[in-house]
Amino acid sequence: MRLRNLVFGLLSLSVLAPILLNIDSFSSFIPSFKQEFLEDVTAFILPADTSNLNILPQDESSAVLKEPIGILYTDNHSKTILTDKDLQLPDTGRALSATDEDAQSGKDDIIKQIIQSANQGKEETRTDRGADQESHQLKQQSALNSDKVGEKDALLTKTNKQSDQSPLPAAWERQLRDRLIKASVYLSLPATKNNLRFTRELRMRIKEVQRVLGDAIKDSDMPKNAYEKWKAMDQLLEKGKQMQYESANEVKKLRAMLHSTEEQLREHKKQTMSFATMVEKLRAMLHSTEEQLQVHKKQTMFLTQLTAKTLPKGLHCLPLRLTTEYYNLNSSEQQFPNQEILDNPLLHHIALFSDNVLAAAVVVNSTVTNSKHPSKLVFHLVSDRLNHAAMRMWFLVNPPGKATIQVQNIDEFTWLNSSYSPVLKQLHSQSMIDYYFRAHSANSDSNLKYRNPKYLSILNHLRFYLPEIFPKLKKVLFLDDDIVVQKDLTGLWSLDLKGNVNGAVETCRESFHRFDTYLNFSNPLISNNFDPRACGWAYGMNLFDLEEWKRQNITDVYHSWQNLNHDRQLWKLGTLPPGLITLWKRTHPLDRRWHVLGLGYNPNVSQIEIERGAVIHYNGNLKPWLEIGLPKYRKYWAKYVDYDNVYLRECNINP
């Protein structure tokens, strides 16, 4: 009965012990369970006669049992190694005796068989009350030896603590050397070299580990602080690893940035190439546009010159209508009044040379309208043979109020011929005809301005023969037919020209009106006698002292320069260049308010300047009687045109 109780007690212990020892989740209960297990084992008292335990067959008792492995419990978190020496119980008279080897082997065999039986019958329930009583007795006996088991448990706890404080694995001397190699590798990496602080610290750790290792060839040769150095080196190497990782990330970022930059660069190159192509196209378009612009400018200039040279239909009708009416008059009706005072030097004589009836009418009308003493005005109008009758008829029908007018035909000046006038001889020469009418010849000028047929008219050159035309006069006010008089001009006749022949307004404010614009200074005859930056002056309203003219023999000076310019090498055609040369240092500057220029080409003439000007001049191609005239200036001219006149209505001349 006692044997059966003993077996069931051992079975209970053997069933519970493996379960608690092999489950990781109950690792925290290992120490207490070990203590209970040992208490139960040590408390179990075998009878003195151990032969009664050999309940197994005798043939099995003789079998050789292997020595049990000394590992009680092992998990993945911590390794606790308990040897047989650690588990050897103290020798007591009442405990399991180890003096008899056979008895001990028999006991071990019995325990093995009991454990195996317990594993097979762990589902059985204990129903025997006697087994419970025996178990209770076993517990009482184990309590007697609790003190001794406590000592053993303390020994186990001490062993565990030592294991926790020394986490270095076996052959850790070799691992330290491996870490030295790894540290040396880190020292050679770029990320480490760029961090001086880390490099210094790593070198210091290397030296410390080298000192720890020293001449050690096994783990027992290591000093006590080897673990701390090992841990410090591991931490530093982990930091180096992180640095390498960060450096690798930086390299990846830089590579990504480089890739992105390269992509952007390629895109910019494409855009640049596209932009360059676009620029080339724009340049080609600009060049083409400039060429077209030049063509249009030439066409515009040609059309403007053509329009300026072409007589509008109304202005062509007007002289024809007037000429017809003039020849229907008898001889007495064709005469002007007050012809006896034409040579009176005390009167204010105005010279006007024109073939435009309407333009001459505006000059006379505006001068008389704004004169304070119109009875003192004497107009000397000279026209060509074609327009002489029309001019006379107009002023016979539209007399200039109290003023006196004389209309002459240039053909009546018999003294003006090619033998006397060099310019008249040139105008009739074949070379001049070729110059004007053969535009594609080698000697033709590309500038249409200088091929204007008005330069062929001798009327344009009569201003250089004023003393011959008016031999009895002392002063003459010369007016062009494209001017409008807005103020009284009486004050001009009282001006002192200080010994000069010409009184005119200078044009210094505009650089293109200086001498070098009109004269060829590459020719020594010009460059040796004149200043290229000298101020030019304007024809259109000029006060001429005829007495000084005769005294200084200006007409001969003019003829001499005209002879020198027979091949047009000193200046092109026109009257201003020879006027500048002939009257060089013989011109008295007038106040600018007497003569305002530019209304025939400049759209930016100040309105204030226009309104305060005594005479406004439509010099240029944009004449006010042409459709191409500037509209904002036309009103100053149209103010003195009587559009209700019967002749103007018949010829459809409207504002």
Least reliable range by pLDDT among 27-31, 167-171, 542-546: 27-31
**Same domain (yes/no): 338, 205:** no
- 109 pLDDT band, cuts 50/70/90, is low
Question: What mean pLDDT, rounded, does the chain reach?
Answer: 76
Among 254, 280, 305, residue at a domain's last position: 305
More confident residue, 48 or 227: 227
By C-alpha distance, which of 584, 502, 570, 498 is closest to 535?
A: 584
Instruction: Examine the pLDDT at 327 and tell me if it is beyond 90.
Output: yes
Instruction: Examine the pLDDT at 545 and tell me if it is beyond 80.
Output: yes
**Percentages (nearest 5) of helix, strand, coil residues in the chain:** 60, 5, 35
**Same domain (yes/no): 256, 394:** no
> Coil, strand or helix: which one is 188?
helix
More confident residue, 127 or 376: 376
- At residue 446, the pLDDT reads 53
Range of the domain at 261: 172-305
Cα 620 to chain centroid distance, Å, stands at 44
- For the residues 250-269, what does the mean pLDDT come to? 83
Instruction: Examine the pLDDT at 123 and tell me if it is beyond 70.
Output: no
C-alpha to C-alpha distance for 336 and 355, rounded to whole angstroms: 19
Instruction: Examine the pLDDT at 596 and tell me if it is beyond 90.
Output: yes
Q: What one-letter code names the amino acid at 559?
A: H
Angle between helices 357-369 and 388-397 (to 10 degrees): 40
Residues 595/484, Cβ–Cβ less than 8 Å:
no
Provide the 10 A C-beta neighbour count for residue 50.
17
C-alpha to C-alpha distance for 326 and 318, rounded to whole angstroms: 12
**Same domain (yes/no): 463, 579:** yes
What does the pLDDT look like over 460-490, one tens digit per residue?
A: 899 999 999 999 999 999 999 999 999 999 9
Let me know if residue 336 belongs to a domain: yes
**Same domain (yes/no): 568, 466:** yes
Q: Which helix (H) or strand (E) holds 190?
A: helix 190-193
CATH classification at residue 509: 3.90.550.10
Instruction: Examine the pLDDT at 226 and tell me if it is beyond 80.
Output: no
- For the residues 170-183, what does the mean pLDDT come to? 70
Least reliable range by pLDDT among 33-47, 195-209, 545-559, 561-575: 33-47
- For the residues 19-27, what does the mean pLDDT come to? 53
Instruction: Examine the pLDDT at 121 and tell me if it is beyond 60.
Output: no
- The pairing of strands 348-353 and 377-383 is parallel
Cα 538 to chain centroid distance, Å, stands at 49
**Same domain (yes/no): 291, 323:** no
**Same domain (yes/no): 223, 317:** no
Torsion angle of C-alpha atoms 554, 555, 561, 567, degrees rounded to 10: 160
Residue recorded with tokens 């032969």: 51
- 560 pLDDT band, cuts 50/70/90, is very high
Least reliable range by pLDDT among 350-359, 376-385, 441-450: 441-450
Residues 600/482, Cβ–Cβ less than 8 Å:
yes
- At residue 143, the pLDDT reads 47
Q: How many CA atoms lie within 13 A of 324 on its CB side?
A: 6
Instruction: Examine the pLDDT at 261 and tell me if it is beyond 60.
Output: yes
Let me know if residue 99 belongs to a domain: no
| Highest-confidence segment of 51-65, 281-295, 502-516 | 281-295
**Same domain (yes/no): 246, 295:** yes
- 46 pLDDT band, cuts 50/70/90, is very low
**Same domain (yes/no): 340, 419:** yes
Q: Give the chain's domain count.
A: 2
- At residue 220, the pLDDT reads 63
Let me know if residue 518 belongs to a domain: yes
- For the residues 446-457, what does the mean pLDDT come to? 62
**Same domain (yes/no): 223, 337:** no
- The pairing of strands 615-617 and 483-485 is antiparallel
Let me know if residue 4 belongs to a domain: no
- For the residues 42-47, what does the mean pLDDT come to? 44
Would you mind telling me the total number of residues written for the chain in this entry? 655
- At residue 521, the pLDDT reads 93
- 196 pLDDT band, cuts 50/70/90, is confident
- Residues paired with residue 475 on neighbouring β-strands, in sequence order: 545
Provide the 10 A C-beta neighbour count for residue 537.
23
Q: What one-letter code names the amino acid at 464?
A: F
What does the pLDDT look like over 298-319, one tens digit per residue?
A: 777 777 777 777 778 999 999 9
C-alpha to C-alpha distance for 144 and 467, rounded to whole angstroms: 169
- At residue 197, the pLDDT reads 80
Let me know if residue 93 belongs to a domain: no
What does the pLDDT look like over 599-610, one tens digit per residue?
A: 999 999 999 999
Rounded to two decimals, what is the model's pTM? Answer: 0.59
Q: Which helix (H) or strand (E) holds 248?
A: helix 226-309
**Same domain (yes/no): 357, 296:** no
Q: What one-letter code names the amino acid at 400?
A: P
- For the residues 244-249, what does the mean pLDDT come to? 74
- At residue 254, the pLDDT reads 80
Instruction: Examine the pLDDT at 193 and tell me if it is beyond 80.
Output: no
Cα 633 to chain centroid distance, Å, stands at 44
Let me know if residue 91 belongs to a domain: no
C-alpha to C-alpha distance for 396 and 361, rounded to whole angstroms: 12
- For the residues 105-122, what does the mean pLDDT come to? 48
**Same domain (yes/no): 416, 547:** yes
Among 260, 288, 305, residue at a domain's last position: 305
Among 289, 305, 321, residue at a domain's last position: 305
Let me know if residue 398 belongs to a domain: yes
Least reliable range by pLDDT among 377-381, 447-451, 493-497, 560-564: 447-451
> Coil, strand or helix: which one is 350?
strand
Looking at residue 498, the DSSP 8-state letter turns out to be T
Let me know if residue 192 belongs to a domain: yes
- For the residues 252-257, what does the mean pLDDT come to? 84
**Same domain (yes/no): 385, 293:** no
Provide the 10 A C-beta neighbour count for residue 550.
14
Residues 366/401, Cβ–Cβ less than 8 Å:
no
